[in-house]
Structure 1
Amino acid sequence: MFPALYAILDPSIIPGPLGPFAEALAQAGVQLVQLRDKRSGAGKICAEAKALAALLAPRNVRLIVNDRPDIAAIAGAGGVHVGQDDLPAEEARRICGAPLWVGVSTHTIEQVRQAALTSADYIAVGPVFPTATKENPDPVVGLEFVRAARALTQKPIVAIGGITVERVAEVYRAGADSAAVIRDLLSAADPVSRAREYLAIAEQVKRLPKTGAF
């Protein structure tokens, strides 16, 4: 089963080292973590990824590296996530190899259709809600987009963008397998408790029978 919570670690939001933060999330039950460092050079990102991979792999937590399949492969990470302006999924796959996951961001139905035809292991859709994480975010797509994406593919769907603990249940009900969370998790007074809240909601919602057009 695809992890219901996808924690994204952004050094621009986390005050201090990433390692202790990632370890705490792993202890809370988080099984999927992404390193999203848009500001550092390749050397620093690679060092961060190596340290996180060494920390998380023994805890059965998969580390995804944003944008850089080369760094994902070198660091021993569990996968790479690429956006529409990055390498295509198949090119990323050639670089990082078959065992690693490749995730793709999508913002339109046509992009979802195209991603569904690739070897991508999951498809991210969003931003579902308004977000302050990106400086120039794509237009908000809403829950209807999540439902539409769910109807187009059997691949795991990851919803992203403005997701909070108050909104995540409706995201799961719309058909998302996972919720990618950045600010609501990283900026929480107690990120570990917040992560457990998300996981508890996911468990509760996913026990219920699905209804509606998905």
Structure 2
Amino acid sequence: MARAFDLSLYLVTDPRQTAQRGLLETVRAAVAGGVTLVQLRDPDAKGRALAEQARALLALLRPLGVPLIINDRVDVAVAVDADGVHLGQSDMAPADARALLGRERILGLSVGTLEELAASDLSLVDYVGTGPVKATGTKTDAGAAIGLDGLAIVRRQVSLPLVGIGGIDRAITGDVIRAGADGVAVVSALCAAPDVAAAARALRDEIAAARA
């Protein structure tokens, strides 16, 4: 059984946007403001550097009970005993990832369209990330924006926990929740915020209001 997780406010890190403040300081402030899950994403980092970042984040997050997900790199997640991995459509197949991760680690998968959904084996997946909801410059290989309607369509087809991702800011956070998402995954809305903790609190307020 996978470790417990809460998709409500999911921070995905970006090395360019955290460079000035620092990765650890950005994540520390985000969690103080209410982030419930953190994904380490640094596609340019080599294995050793990524593992060092992951271990530093685990030392911060594990005492606080906030899971750490590694983007793509199943080997790094296993090596550092991270809480899970998030895979894109072109990454390792979920079945292969699960074989390496074991049952207890969290496995997330990006599913942006009904075509991707139809081609995906979700039997071993714990949650899906759906988007991009809006066009985003953070992830250059993201597909076309699917909008709130597209997210709602995927939601109706998926029984797993679902997090909306891609171009999400405070203005549309409530709409993403009302469209059926269990949470929002954000990059710039927190990593580029002048006051990360305050930005996280504002997003949590929008989530709570939409759920109410």
What range is the shorter-chain TM-score in? Answer: over 0.9
**Contact kept? 2:69, 2:84, Cα under 8 Å:** yes
- Alpha-carbon distance between aligned partners in 1 of 2:141 and 2:129, rounded to the nearest angstrom: 18
Alignment partner, residue 212 of structure 1: none
Q: How many percent of aligned residue pairs carry the same amino acid? A: 36
- Within 5 Å, give how 1:119-130 maps onto structure 2: 119-130=124-135
| Correspondence 1:9 to 2:13 | yes
Cα offsets for 1:3-33 (capped at 9, x unmatched): 3110111112112431122122222221100
For these two proteins, the number of residue pairs brought into alignment is 207
Q: Which amino acid aligns with 2:12?
A: I
**Contact kept? 1:64, 1:80, Cα under 8 Å:** yes
- Alpha-carbon distance between aligned partners in 2 of 1:112 and 1:158, rounded to the nearest angstrom: 14
**Contact kept? 2:112, 2:146, Cα under 8 Å:** yes
Runs of 4+ in 1 over 3 A off after TM superposition: 113-117
**Contact kept? 1:67, 1:81, Cα under 8 Å:** yes
Alignment partner, residue 165 of structure 1: 170
Cα offsets for 1:63-92 (capped at 9, x unmatched): 000001111111121110010110011111
- Alpha-carbon distance between aligned partners in 2 of 1:117 and 1:186, rounded to the nearest angstrom: 30
Alignment partner, residue 40 of structure 2: 35
Q: RMSD value over aligned CA atoms?
A: 1.4
Residue 122 to residue 114, structure 1, CA distance change in 2 (3 Å): farther
**Contact kept? 2:112, 2:130, Cα under 8 Å:** yes
How far off its partner does 1:39 sit?
1.0
Alignment partner, residue 112 of structure 2: 107
- Alpha-carbon distance between aligned partners in 1 of 2:87 and 2:141, rounded to the nearest angstrom: 17
Consecutive unaligned residues of structure 1, counting only runs of 5 or more, are 208-214
Consecutive unaligned residues of structure 2, counting only runs of 5 or more, are none
How far off its partner does 1:50 sit?
1.1
Partner of 2:144, secondary structure, is: coil
Alignment partner, residue 211 of structure 1: none
- Alpha-carbon distance between aligned partners in 2 of 1:83 and 1:23, rounded to the nearest angstrom: 26
Alignment partner, residue 195 of structure 1: 200
Q: TM-score normalised to the size of structure 2?
A: 0.93
- Alpha-carbon distance between aligned partners in 2 of 1:27 and 1:184, rounded to the nearest angstrom: 15
- Within 5 Å, give how 1:199-214 maps onto structure 2: 199-207=204-212
Residue 117 to residue 96, structure 1, CA distance change in 2 (3 Å): closer
How far off its partner does 1:116 sit?
6.1
Partner of 1:13, secondary structure, is: helix
How far off its partner does 1:113 sit?
3.8
Among 57, 60, 65, the residue aligned to 1:55: 60
Q: Which amino acid aligns with 1:73?
A: V
Alignment partner, residue 85 of structure 1: 90
Q: Which amino acid aligns with 2:92?
A: L
**Contact kept? 1:3, 1:178, Cα under 8 Å:** yes
**Contact kept? 2:9, 2:34, Cα under 8 Å:** no
- Alpha-carbon distance between aligned partners in 1 of 2:122 and 2:135, rounded to the nearest angstrom: 28
**Contact kept? 1:113, 1:152, Cα under 8 Å:** no
Q: TM-score normalised to the size of structure 1?
A: 0.92
